[in-house]
């Protein structure tokens, strides 16, 4: 791909060997983006179909990808594309489009007959998801830098000396308007700053999917944090944390009664 980038002045579309192109794959060229590729399992990126617009940002990602591949020759290049994307997007605005399944269909898919690009692979989540032969320790490291259920989006502390922590889980992030999500984050942090309710630490997690919520709840439970689950658009009063602390104290008192 680097050789083709240096040889031509047009955008590039890479399609993995063995794939069948059913019709002209024109969608990426109409979008005017820097990069277009398919995302799997919510954060895994696949390099089987990859579009690079003729932009400085796209070139930066391609060169970063090449450098990573040269630095780690024992790792298949496809496993490094998400790292190249993360590094590039953290430094420059990288206009990215996630290609639909019709540009990344596999044999056996329900929509394979209508696919623009059909890859020579059987339908299985293992083809695009984590390689089962990849060491679990390495797989966990690849996730570093991605905000999700296992990583608190924001952490705040207060002067309270109780040592109690509270975890707020903001669910349905992927199905909500970005403005509503941002407003919810601002409301939660503002309420905690106004009245922490006696909680010395706040961890706010953004969860796009239900299994993310489960993972966030499990992590909070292990830390023995109070857990509150909210949704974008929900009203958050300034006494949000104080009210929940009062409810918790009342429930504890009831349990202690004979």
pLDDT tens track, the chain, 258 positions = 999 999 999 999 999 998 999 889 888 888 889 999 988 766 778 888 999 999 999 999 999 999 999 988 888 888 889 889 999 998 899 999 988 888 888 877 767 788 899 888 754 444 444 455 555 555 555 454 444 445 677 888 888 877 789 999 999 887 777 788 888 988 999 999 999 999 999 999 888 777 778 888 888 888 889 999 999 989 999 899 988 887 665 555 444 445
Q: Are 236 and 200 in contact (CB under 8 A)?
A: no
Q: Which CATH superfamily is domain 2-142 in?
A: Spore Coat Polysaccharide Biosynthesis Protein SpsA; Chain A (3.90.550.10)
| Strand-pair partners of 227 | 167
The closest of 258, 198, 204 to 236, measured between CA atoms, is: 204
HSE (CB half, 13 Å, CA atoms) of 34? 16
pLDDT of the residue at 78: 84
Backbone angles phi, psi at 48, to 5 degrees: -70, -35
pLDDT of the residue at 138: 52
Task: Name the pairing type of β-strands 20-21 and 201-206.
Answer: unpaired
Domains in the chain: boundaries = 2-142, 154-256
**Quick one: how many helices (H) and strands (E) in the chain?**
9, 11
pLDDT of the residue at 248: 64
Q: Which helix (H) or strand (E) holds 203?
A: strand 201-206
Helices 178-194 + 240-256 axis angle, to 10 = 70
Task: Name the pairing type of β-strands 117-122 and 20-21.
Answer: antiparallel
Q: Are 208 and 162 in contact (CB under 8 A)?
A: no
Cα 22 to its chain centre, rounded Å, is 31
Contacts 24+ apart (CB under 8 A), 71-77: 77/47
The closest of 204, 199, 195 to 173, measured between CA atoms, is: 204
Please tell me the pTM assigned to this model: 0.51
Cβ-proximal residues to 17 (8 Å cutoff; 6+ apart), any chain: none
Residues belonging to the chain: 258
Contacts 24+ apart (CB under 8 A), 207-211: 207/148, 207/149, 207/169, 207/170, 207/171, 207/172, 207/173, 208/42, 208/148, 208/172, 208/173, 208/174, 208/175, 209/42, 209/174, 210/171, 211/149
The closest of 49, 41, 72 to 1, measured between CA atoms, is: 49
Q: Are 2 and 64 in contact (CB under 8 A)?
A: no
CA separation for the pair 165, 192 (Å, rounded): 12
């Amino acid at each position: 791909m680097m050789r083709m980038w240096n040889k031509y002045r047009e955008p590039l579309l890479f399609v993995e060997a063995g794939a069948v192109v059913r019709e002209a794959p024109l969608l990426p060229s109409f979008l005017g983006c820097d990069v277009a590729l398919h995302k799997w399992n919510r954060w895994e990126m696949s390099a089987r179909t990859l579009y690079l617009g003729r932009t400085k940002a796209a070139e930066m990602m391609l060169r970063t990808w090449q450098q990573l591949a040269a630095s780690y020759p024992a790792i298949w290049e496809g496993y490094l594309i998400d790292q190249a994307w993360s590094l590039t997007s953290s430094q420059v605005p990288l206009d990215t489009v996630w290609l639909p399944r019709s540009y990344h269909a596999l044999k056996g898919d329900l929509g394979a007959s209508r696919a623009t690009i059909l890859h020579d692979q059987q339908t299985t989540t293992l083809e695009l998801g984590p390689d089962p032969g990849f060491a679990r320790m390495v797989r966990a490291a690849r996730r570093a830098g991605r905000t999700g259920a296992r990583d608190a989006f924001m952490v705040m502390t207060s002067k309270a000396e109780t040592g109690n922590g509270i975890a707020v889980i903001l669910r349905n992030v992927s199905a909500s308007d970005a403005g509503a999500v941002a407003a919810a984050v601002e409301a939660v942090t503002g309420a905690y700053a106004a009245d922490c309710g006696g909680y010395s630490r706040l961890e706010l997690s953004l969860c796009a999917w239900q299994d993310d919520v489960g993972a966030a709840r499990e992590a909070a439970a292990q830390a023995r944090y109070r857990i509150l689950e909210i949704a974008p658009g929900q009203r958050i009063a300034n006494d949000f944390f104080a009210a929940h602390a009062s409810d918790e104290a009342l429930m504890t008192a009831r349990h202690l009664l004979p």
